[in-house]
Amino acid sequence: MADASESTPVRPGAALGLLGGGQLGRMFTLAARNLGFRVHALDPGHDCPAGQVADLEIRAAYNDIYAAQALARGVDVVTVEFENIAAETLEAVAHLRPMHPGAHVLHTVQHRLREKRFLADHGFPVTPFREINTEADLCAAAAALGFPSVLKTASFGYDGKGQTKLLALSDIPAAFEALGGQQGILEAWVPFELECSVICARAPQGETSVWPVAENAHVRHILDTTVFPARIPDSVAQGAQAMALDIARSLDVVGMLTVEFFLKAGGELVVNELAPRPHNSGHATIDACVTSQFEQQVRAVCGLPLGDTTLLRPAAMANLLGNLWPAQGEPAWERLLAFRDVKLHLYGKTEARPGRKMGHLTALADTPEEALAKVLAARAALKD
């Protein structure tokens, strides 16, 4: 069993374990080091973004239980960068050290059917859905939910991967084949006005905090821009924040939870997905809030008091994808950096590919619209 009490804070100077070495892990590591912690990161890749700034980089597959146990033995508490980690690995780590979020949280959210059923069973609004195991299941589900609808793999999907939009009965055979033998979930189409997200934190003793609602715009299923605060009525924003905190309590999350919402006409919120970690839509908190989502993750998993989430000024974030990189070399960063009030964050990835998140931009302004215009103009300068 874990040899540290859940009620005893993990104080600066200790070592934190991180399962995952991508950009979220990199920003977590930088925040942890600012607070005086050491970080040991496990990732299968070479020279991963988090490994570049961590104290120790362990290169191993996520299903390598022995490597995960070695990580755990060298740290005081373990957290995750993403949720799709094998249950056996999570259980092995949890037997050695406190792990936040717990394996039960990750088990729920790494499978869309389990996640949707959890939400529905606890009274949270979700789009109608059906389990899909056979093509006959899909035909029956489409008849019940209608068109358009969205077929998704039940496991291991993100950024639109493993999703097919169904417009008619004729789409069913190809959509089912695209599942590749995996279990699926069919969801009714949600006619929404905008997409938004709420990021919140919960400490072991039950203390919670929440950031303003983020308004998100996607291109080809990948987050393109976020503005803080979302341009929605205050009553809707307060309802979204309250629901996110209720979900965190219901799941017994320790650490971070991001709740993605669809906002329908009339102010109705529908939960789309959960992520028990920092989120792409919260990157602006690094520059725009008293406490960033990454510092808060450190505080929460260590059992330390949570930080102030106040938004200092309206802000916007724009993703930098590998599409912006020229065939040879790097973008002309001096063009972007000529925008003196736009902050550039690069993730240390050496290979740029279309759709790959390579970095992001953040700007603050007097209004969300002005902040968004700044990051879009700076990003556009790279294309000239």
- In the chain, what are the domains? 15-99 (3.40.50.20), 128-188 (3.30.1490.20), 192-381 (3.30.470.20)
Residue 157 has pLDDT above 70, yes or no: no
- Tens digit of each residue's pLDDT (9 = 90 or more) over 252-301: 999 999 999 999 999 999 999 999 999 999 999 999 999 999 999 999 99
Q: Looking at residue 235, what is its pLDDT?
A: 98
Q: Looking at residue 327, what is its pLDDT?
A: 84
Residue 361 has pLDDT above 70, yes or no: yes
Work out the pLDDT band at 3, boundaries 50, 70, 90: very low
Which whole number is the average pLDDT over 114-119?
98
Q: What is the C-alpha separation between 196 and 176, in angstroms, rounded?
A: 29
Residue 6 has pLDDT above 60, yes or no: no
- Tens digit of each residue's pLDDT (9 = 90 or more) over 43-87: 999 899 999 999 999 999 999 999 999 999 999 999 999 998 988
Q: Model pTM greater than 0.75?
A: yes
Q: What is the C-alpha separation between 222 and 361, in angstroms, rounded?
A: 15
First to last CA, the chain: 57
Enumerate residues 6+ apart whose C-beta is below 8 A from 219: none
